[in-house]
Structure formats: C-alpha cells, structure tokens
C-alpha cells in the first residue's frame, strides 16, 4: 500500500512507540510485506529466521524486535511486537469504512457502464467505461475495474486475504493481517459467475488485460495474472503467484503459493502445481510435469501386469 504522501520516520516511530535506528531523516512512501517490498517501503519482521532477508530486501525501513546492524540509507524501528505495529499503521492509513449504500457516493463509474440491481460497489471504487457488473456481484473498497470489463453474477472482487500471523505461544494462534491492498482488473477482462478474487495484503492483486475467467474460480491475495490468459472453471490460485501472459489453465487446476508460471504455458485439467513452470510447454499431473512424459508413464504403468506375467512365466 502506498501512503497518500511520504510519512516521516520520526512520526511513525512515535506513532508505534518504536526506537528509531539509522536514517532518521527519511520518509516512508508505503508499507508492504516481504513478497512485494519496494524502495521506500516499510516492512515488518518478528522472527530471527527472516531478519537478514528483510534487512537486505528492497525495503528501506524495517519494523523489527531486535537491534541489529542496519545498512546505510536504511532504518530500523525497534518494537516489542512488530506485527501489532504493522497492523496499527495499516489500519491507520486504510481504516474500515462503513458502506451506507449499495453503490457508494465515492465510487467513480465511467460513461456507458451498467450496474445491475443488487450489485454492491464499495467505497473509493473506480470502474471504467462500457463495463457491465451483473446482479449480486460485490466490488469491495478501493478496487479498480477497467474499460469493457464483464463481471458475471455472484462474483466477489476484493475480499480480504486469507493471510495470518501465526504464533503457537499465544492463546489465539492465528491473527489476521489487515488487507490494505487492492484488486486491479485491467481492460477487456471477463469474469464468470461465482468467482472470488482476494485483494492484496499490502499490495495489489492484478488481472491483466484481455484475460478471461470461467465460473467458480478463486484468485489468492497479491497474485499477478498477465494479459490474455484463459482460466476454465474451478481453477484455484494461491497467494503471491505470478502467471505470465497467455497462460491457459483448464478445469480444476490448483496452483501453490509464491511461484511463477511462464508465458504461454498450458496446464491440462486437474494439474497440481507445486513449483515454478517454464513457459511455452504443456503440463499435466500432480505434481505438474510435461504432459507427453506423463502420458508415456501411464502407458508403461498399464503394462506392468503384462510385463510381470511375462517375467514370472519364464
């Protein structure tokens, strides 16, 4: 999430009760979690396993629970509970805002667009030109929908991320991280009925120009989908996935978190993806493998009884 304007580090330190170490004259431009950090961002870390990763990431400022060396030009904000400090900042700059109407007065809807009765358009939503939103669809706060988009009935765009801070030494093991990101749907996208697209934890979930979704598809938080992709029904994409341009996912494909599928890959029905996949190839199976190789393996598996009988018969 980008702040409305740069925020001074001394103000942030006072706001969260942190000790400021390092470049105290700087200003933060946004807050992000580690998968999406950019220069100028705040990030938090509360486990020694990830200290080095966060400190040496693109993030300029680190909310942390231990004083340690800090690279030149960066700063540490030292607090007892970095997660709670992160949540306080996120909730301050992206607070909960009640919806008073089915279509918020703060929403901007472009010329020629049509919103069916029963659709909900949240606060600060932007919808482009000649877009159609069908009944019982919800476009949640701060989401952006482009021109010539079609979103069929019952779809939810911008639901909270399924993303929790986990600590086994407290009564409630799972604490939800506030979702202060958005969903951005680019021009000429079509989304079927009953789809769910989670907004980013702190960045954006993005659906690229010209991409088409069938019904009952789930897209996890912070996932970036390229241009002209085609997804059949029941596809499930976990969080922080990158799917490059021109990818085709057939029915019931499941993609694990934080991986990349290369451009123009084709995944046949019911493929399970557990690692990065090279573009320009066709995959099948769980775990996903080259479809030709998978078919040949099945042929040989079916021949095992025949081969066994020949061996035992000698």
Q: Looking at the annotation, which residues are catalytic? A: 221
Strand 164-166 relative to strand 174-176: parallel, antiparallel, unpaired? antiparallel
What token pair was written down for 179? 């979702």
Q: Which residues pair with 255 in a beta bridge?
A: 237, 273
> How many whole angstroms separate alpha carbon 210 and alpha carbon 197?
17
Cα 19–Cα 174–Cα 12 angle in degrees, nearest 5: 20
54 close to 74: Cβ distance less than 8 angstroms: no
CB atoms under 10 Å from CB of 95, counted, come to: 9
Q: What CA dihedral angle connects 45, 33, 176 and 256, to 10 degrees? A: -110
Residue 276's H or E segment, with its range, is: none
Strand 138-139 relative to strand 156-159: parallel, antiparallel, unpaired? parallel
């Amino acid at each position: 999430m980008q702040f409305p304007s740069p925020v001074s580090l001394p103000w942030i330190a006072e706001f969260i009760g942190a000790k400021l170490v390092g470049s105290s004259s700087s200003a933060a431009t946004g807050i992000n979690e580690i998968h999406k950090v950019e220069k100028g961002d705040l990030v938090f870390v509360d486990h020694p396993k990830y200290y080095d990763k966060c400190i040496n990431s693109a993030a300029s400022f680190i909310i942390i629970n231990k004083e340690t060396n800090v690279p030149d030009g960066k700063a540490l904000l030292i607090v007892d509970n970095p997660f709670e400090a992160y949540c306080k900042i996120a909730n301050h700059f992206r607070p909960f805002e009640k919806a008073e109407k089915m279509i918020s007065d703060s929403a901007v809807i472009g010329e020629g667009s049509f919103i069916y009765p029963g659709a909900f358009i949240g606060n600060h939503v932007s919808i482009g030109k000649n877009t159609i939103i069908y009944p019982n669809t919800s476009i949640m706060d701060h989401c952006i929908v482009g021109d010539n988009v079609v979103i069929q009935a019952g779809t939810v765009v911008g639901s909270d991320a399924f993303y929790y801070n986990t600590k086994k030494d407290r009564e409630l093991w799972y604490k939800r991280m506030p979702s202060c990101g958005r969903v951005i749907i680019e021009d000429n996208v079509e989304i079927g009925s009953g789809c769910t697209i989670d907004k980013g934890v702190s960045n954006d979930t993005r659906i690229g120009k010209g991409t088409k979704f069938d019904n009952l598809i789930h897209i996890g938080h912070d996932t970036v989908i390229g241009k002209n992709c085609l997804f059949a029904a029941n596809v499930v994409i976990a969080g922080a996935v990158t799917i490059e341009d021109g990818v085709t996912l057939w029915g019931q494909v499941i993609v694990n978190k934080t991986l990349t599928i290369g451009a123009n890959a084709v995944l046949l029905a019911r493929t399970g993806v557990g690692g990065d996949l090279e573009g320009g190839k066709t995959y099948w199976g769980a775990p996903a493998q080259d479809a030709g190789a998978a078919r040949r393996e099945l042929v040989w598996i079916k021949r095992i009884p025949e081969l066994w009988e020949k061996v035992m018969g000698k």
